[in-house]
Structure 1
Amino acid sequence: MKSSLAVLGFFTAGCWLGTRPELPEFLRGGLLPLAALYLLMLEVGVSLGSDAKLKEILRSVKLRWLLLPAGTAAGTLLGALAASVFITRWSWSECLAVGSGFGYYSLSSILIARLKAPVLGAQAAGALATVALLSNMIREMFTLLFALLLVRFFGKFAPVAAGGVTSMDATLPVIARYSGKDMTFLAIVHGVTLDFSVPFLVAFFCSL
């Protein structure tokens, strides 16, 4: 919860700074967002590759375990597609790009802002990226706050699916607490699998 509030605080501070006329021009766009995106992608690769548990996870993965992240991805994308019927401002592909973040608010929002800017313009792309940021943050906070109720009404797999990518880190403690420690390993596999898919799916739906 603290990490989510910290992200929200930095986002709010960024919005405020963006309104200041004295803000240096290089902070408003250009190469800085692109450099930040590349550094973030590098950090994702390094963090996954250097994780000592990654090899153990990959060796222990059973094929049927991949049904859970596949179900999470399918359910999320179907929900985003259904939402696009009621959201007239954004196209169905843009709604799917937002949904493809699977809770990974930092990477998905940066990708959307960068990839959609040539098509929508910087302002509209920034608005869509903000929607992605907030929707994915809400997903994480919802899982943290309502994990117990999710288990009670929908079963022990529900908090894992609700957490999306965050099931391997931010929401893992509440998953272990309410779904059981035996779900920890599956939650990590679930999060890592979705983590790998985010850049590809977001880029794909942004290109449509």
Structure 2
Amino acid sequence: MKGSLIIIGFFVLGCLSGLSDITFNITKTDISFYALCALMFSVGISIGNDPQTIKNFRALNPRLIFLPVMTILGTLAGTALASLILPHRSLTECMAVGSGFGYYSLSSIFITEYKGAELGTIALLSNITREIITLLAAPLLVRWFGNLAPISSGGATTMDTTLPIITRYSGQEFVVVSIFHGFVVDFSVPFLVTFFCSI
């Protein structure tokens, strides 16, 4: 949760800097593109740097492969329904925001590049909120919906920031499931976000 608060703090600091004209106009530069490239490179390093993750995937129950698929489909269905009560936002814009699956740093940069800063900011706040809800509501999710609920709720964050809280409340036996889920959902983010932003 500390990491989420730091991200929010930098976001607020950026907004204040932009309003006070302290910083240069980022829209006239390619800095966001280079930041995105650096972020994708970092994601690749973090995945490739842990060979144990691939070994743990092989030990999974084959039925659990459907968990990240259902998380993706459920999130997209939810954002499609949300678009019905948001007349100023199109179906594809809502689904692009939902396709971040909690991965706020990557999805918000993609959406800003394709659709502008306003929707990128909405994606940032929406996906940070998803992570914070998972961190705060994990014990309730386990009690009401079962051990897999906080994993699905966490989306792409379940292999990093929400993993400790999931392990604490779902149990140590769900660590590999959580990492696998996060890996698959995380991998889908750039493809789905750019797909919905492009149509």
**By the TM > 0.5 criterion, same fold?**
yes
Does residue 2 of structure 2 align to residue 11 of structure 1? no
Give 1:1-208 correspondences, 5 Å limit. 1-25=1-25, 27-116=26-115, 125-208=116-199
How far residue 63 of structure 1 moved from its aligned partner, in angstroms, is 3.2
* AA in 2 matched with 1:64: R
TM-score by length of 2: 0.96
Unpaired runs of 5+ residues, structure 1, are 117-124
| Structure 1 CA distance for aligned equivalents of residues 175 and 22 of structure 2 | 48
How far residue 42 of structure 1 moved from its aligned partner, in angstroms, is 1.1
How far residue 28 of structure 1 moved from its aligned partner, in angstroms, is 4.4
With over 3 angstroms needed to count, the CA separation of the structure-2 counterparts of 1:156 and 1:22, relative to structure 1, is closer
**Runs (4+) off by over 4 Å:** none
Identity %: 49
Unpaired runs of 5+ residues, structure 2, are none
Residue 120 (structure 1) aligns with: none
| Structure 2 CA distance for aligned equivalents of residues 71 and 22 of structure 1 | 45
Secondary structure in 1 matching 2:87: coil
Q: In the alignment, is the contact (CA less than 8 A) between 1:18 and 1:28 conserved in 2?
A: no
| Structure 1 CA distance for aligned equivalents of residues 21 and 163 of structure 2 | 42
TM-score by length of 1: 0.92
Residue 121 (structure 1) aligns with: none
Deviations 1:107-154 (Å, cap 9, x if unpaired)? 0000000122xxxxxxxx211111111111111110111111101111
How far residue 72 of structure 1 moved from its aligned partner, in angstroms, is 0.5
How far residue 79 of structure 1 moved from its aligned partner, in angstroms, is 0.4
With over 3 angstroms needed to count, the CA separation of the structure-2 counterparts of 1:98 and 1:51, relative to structure 1, is same
Cα RMSD of the aligned pairs, angstroms, is: 1.2
| Structure 2 CA distance for aligned equivalents of residues 100 and 22 of structure 1 | 33
Deviations 1:9-30 (Å, cap 9, x if unpaired)? 00000111111234234x4442
* AA in 2 matched with 1:109: S
How far residue 174 of structure 1 moved from its aligned partner, in angstroms, is 1.1
How far residue 82 of structure 1 moved from its aligned partner, in angstroms, is 0.2
Secondary structure in 1 matching 2:76: helix
Q: In the alignment, is the contact (CA less than 8 A) between 2:102 and 2:127 conserved in 1?
A: yes
* AA in 2 matched with 1:16: L
How far residue 66 of structure 1 moved from its aligned partner, in angstroms, is 1.3
Deviations 1:151-172 (Å, cap 9, x if unpaired)? 1111111000001111111111
Q: In the alignment, is the contact (CA less than 8 A) between 1:100 and 1:198 conserved in 2?
A: yes
How far residue 89 of structure 1 moved from its aligned partner, in angstroms, is 1.6
With over 3 angstroms needed to count, the CA separation of the structure-2 counterparts of 1:54 and 1:24, relative to structure 1, is same
How far residue 47 of structure 1 moved from its aligned partner, in angstroms, is 1.2
